[in-house]
Amino acid sequence: MTTLTLPRVESARRAPTPRSRALYWLPLVLILAGQAVLSAMLIHIGHDSGDEARYTYAGTQLWHELIRGGGSPYYETYFSGAPDFYSPIAAIAWWLGGIVAVRLLSLCFMQVATWLLFLASRRLFGYGPALCSAGIFATLGMTHELGSYGDYDSLALMCIALAFYCAVRSRETRWLLLLPLALLLADMAKYVMLAFDPIVILTAGLMLQDRGWKRVLQRWLVLGFTTLCVLLFGLLSAGSAYKQGIFFTTVARPRGTQTIFQASSQASSVIIKDTSTWMGLVLVAAVLSLVLAVCTPSQRRNMLVLGVLLLGGLLVTIEGVHLHSDESMKRHDDFAAWFASIPAGWALAYFSERCRGAARTILLVLAGAVVMLLGIHYYPQGAELHPSQDSVLQQ
């Protein structure tokens, strides 16, 4: 596998032909096509959702306020994402094609998130692990569902994926400067994405491992302080209503039963079981990647990044156990699965790259078949994300 921390140096070789370029990108195109087909099929299965109508209507009201003046309800006080970000975009999609267009917009966001997953993983570990990571994420039932549901979750995932891609390319100044802005967009789309900001910042710092831990620590401090300043500036500029909404829906949300959120207290065992059902094998593969990196001397330089990504894969479950609530956890677990898919793909590629000839081909085919079967297994659960009645606050 390629080195994580050192810049990649390409050896002298002939320019790639159009055929070789097509063959290079063909597996990713097939992965994205499969994800798109499964999500598109779910678009027509789901029932109309109150939340989808609420966000598009809010966007229509905000456009009306911008163009014709007047006031609109204070959506920022009870939406768990900035209404000025996703809702106006959803309203445009609604005008163009109704609820189907809004859901197709989410599908586009999820396609970009999978593509960024491939690019980030390829930058970290190479082509093989990147394909495995994208394939794992694209076959998860949760991924299909987010791509078929018209709300801000897919936009938030795309933005945090962009932030992570900036982090793995943060040795270059332009990507380093874009990183705090990308995190701001992700946090605006959905406030709960604040939990993943440290994962992105930690990864950006670990890109400088070869320059010494002093540089890594400096990067963490500078990025953390800069991101905090950008977020505080955005919050102060937005006004007190946004502050109220962020605390009400995310930061100061009480644990256990809460009538407003229509949530009931759940035992830790129930929350852990839910996570194991939705993405248990992905987490097992992610843990295996960390064990392999520790036990393989040549791969120990990847150990810290794999550990940080595994932590990102566990964040939603940890928070669910802390809050004793599994409300909207299926959506949030797909955010965690995006991060966990990278070490899971690394573990899958670890074994295949140690095989040669026919054995390697057979192993890759079997791995692909297993991943496809898992996707088919989770696919029938797709309609669960489209209840006829949803909570106003999807936290």
Tell me the mean pLDDT in the region 30-47: 83
The reported pLDDT for the residue numbered 48 is: 61
CB-CB contact of 306 with 346 (8 Å): yes
pLDDT tens digits, residue range 214-250? 999 999 999 999 999 999 998 888 777 777 777 777 7
Using CA atoms, how far apart are residues 310 and 289, in angstroms rounded to an integer?
A: 9
Supply φ then ψ for residue 39, to 5 degrees: -70, -40
The reported pLDDT for the residue numbered 382 is: 42
* Average pLDDT along the chain: 81
- pTM (two decimals): 0.86
Using CA atoms, how far apart are residues 379 and 375, in angstroms rounded to an integer?
A: 6
Cβ-based neighbours of 248, under 8 Å, separated by 6 or more: 77, 78
Report residue 16 CA to chain centroid gap: 32
CA–CA distances in Å: residue 35 to residues 107, 145, 198, 371: 9, 10, 29, 12
The reported pLDDT for the residue numbered 110 is: 96
User: Could you tell me the pLDDT band of residue 333, with boundaries at 50, 70 and 90?
Assistant: confident
The reported pLDDT for the residue numbered 393 is: 39
pLDDT tens digits, residue range 254-295? 554 444 445 567 777 778 887 888 888 889 999 999 999 999
User: Could you tell me the pLDDT band of residue 7, with boundaries at 50, 70 and 90?
Assistant: very low
The reported pLDDT for the residue numbered 216 is: 94
CA–CA distances in Å: residue 94 to residues 54, 87, 218, 273, 368: 12, 10, 46, 37, 37
Using CA atoms, how far apart are residues 372 and 368, in angstroms rounded to an integer?
A: 6
The reported pLDDT for the residue numbered 383 is: 42
pLDDT tens digits, residue range 297-315? 888 889 999 999 999 999 9
Q: Both tokens of residue 57?
A: 């209507």
The reported pLDDT for the residue numbered 160 is: 96
User: Could you tell me the pLDDT band of residue 194, with boundaries at 50, 70 and 90?
Assistant: very high
Q: Where are the domains of the chain?
A: 46-250+265-382
The DSSP annotation for 93-104 comes to HHHHHHHHHHHH
Q: Both tokens of residue 8?
A: 């990649």
The reported pLDDT for the residue numbered 2 is: 47
Residue 338, pLDDT > 80, answer yes
The reported pLDDT for the residue numbered 392 is: 38
